[in-house]
């Protein structure tokens, strides 16, 4: 996704805790986009959080430890659909 969507600046994480850093066209933190994606995620069956209590530009994904490969694939597909629809 980082290669397909300019707003995705960095993807990082530890284990299943994943953070997607979002920036605008000038490389500045895209906090409003991050909040929007977190709110819109529910429409796609995703529970997403933001960094810094809604004032940050990192979209947090923390799936359950019992997630299956199929569920992880579904999560990724839904997340990409969300970003493709909302971040353009």
Residue 38 belongs to what H/E stretch?
helix 31-40
Half-sphere exposure of 63 (CA within 13 A, CB side): 19
The backbone torsions φ and ψ at residue 49, rounded to the nearest 5 degrees and listed phi first, read -125, 165
What is the pLDDT at residue 74? 97
Q: Give the closest residue to 2 by CA, choosing from 80, 86, 62, 71.
A: 80
What is the pLDDT at residue 87? 81
What is the pLDDT at residue 29? 97
- Domains and their CATH numbers in the chain: 8-86 (3.90.1150.10)
Residue with tokens 């490969």: 69
What's the token pair of residue 72? 């992880």
The reply to whether the predicted model has a pTM over 0.85 is: yes
**pLDDT tens-place values along the chain, 88 residues long:** 889 999 999 999 999 999 999 999 999 999 999 999 999 999 999 999 999 888 899 999 999 999 999 999 999 999 999 999 998 7
């Amino acid at each position: 996704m980082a290669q397909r969507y300019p707003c995705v600046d960095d993807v990082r994480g530890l284990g299943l805790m994943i953070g997607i850093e979002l920036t605008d066209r000038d490389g500045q933190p895209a906090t409003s986009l991050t909040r929007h994606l977190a709110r819109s995620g529910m429409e796609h069956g995703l529970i997403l959080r933001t960094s810094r209590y809604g004032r940050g530009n990192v979209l947090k994904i923390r799936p359950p430890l019992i997630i299956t490969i199929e569920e992880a694939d579904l999560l990724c597909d839904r997340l990409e659909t969300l970003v493709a629809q909302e971040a353009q």
